[in-house]
Structure 1
Amino acid sequence: MECLTKDREALLAFYDFPAEHWDHVRTTNPIESVFATVRHRTVRTKGALSQDTAKLMVFKLISPASRTWRRLQGENQLPKVIQGAKFRDGIEVSVPTSQNAA
């Protein structure tokens, strides 16, 4: 319980993003899953490639693999996330601008 209480903000940060992005945020290691095909092939070659051949092989392996990658859902929300818009439970929260009355 102490660990959950201590890390509460990090655990609940997931809900500070648009609901459309939740499927993508939930992944454990997006980089590893993208390059798994390349890693499996380079392990088999055991470093017998030159730098140029390795680059060509990586390009040739990633090109067909990229056809199966999922598109980002809610890409229209990205500018809002970058600009720092606040989301609560996946829904954008509008912050009222405070005006000082003189």
Structure 2
Amino acid sequence: MKVVLTGKQLRFLRREAHHLKPIFQIGKSGLHEMIYKEVTDALEARELIKINLLQNAIEEPKQAAQGLAEHTGAEIVQVLGNVITLYKESKNNKQINLPR
């Protein structure tokens, strides 16, 4: 079940993600099943992550964000330059309480 985030929640998540460093880099190998699995696992553990798209990546940042969101069930918080920020509420490890 995918939850649509409100503007207030997106602003809150962008603020929370500001200090985070990207934990994945996607390069010329592009998006593939292994990346989807690792991103899904990271989202379950952290809920909010950043991903860096390298200059030699096949996909454009917005396309990559869309593909990652569709395959992982995450919400796109922001695509800024080559950095993608994703959020997905954890089933077993809830850490972030979104504003209403």
TM-score (norm 2): 0.29
Bigger Rg, structure 1 or 2: 1
**Which structure shows the higher helix fraction?**
1
* Larger relative contact order (Cα-Cα within 8 Å, sequence gap ≥ 6): 1
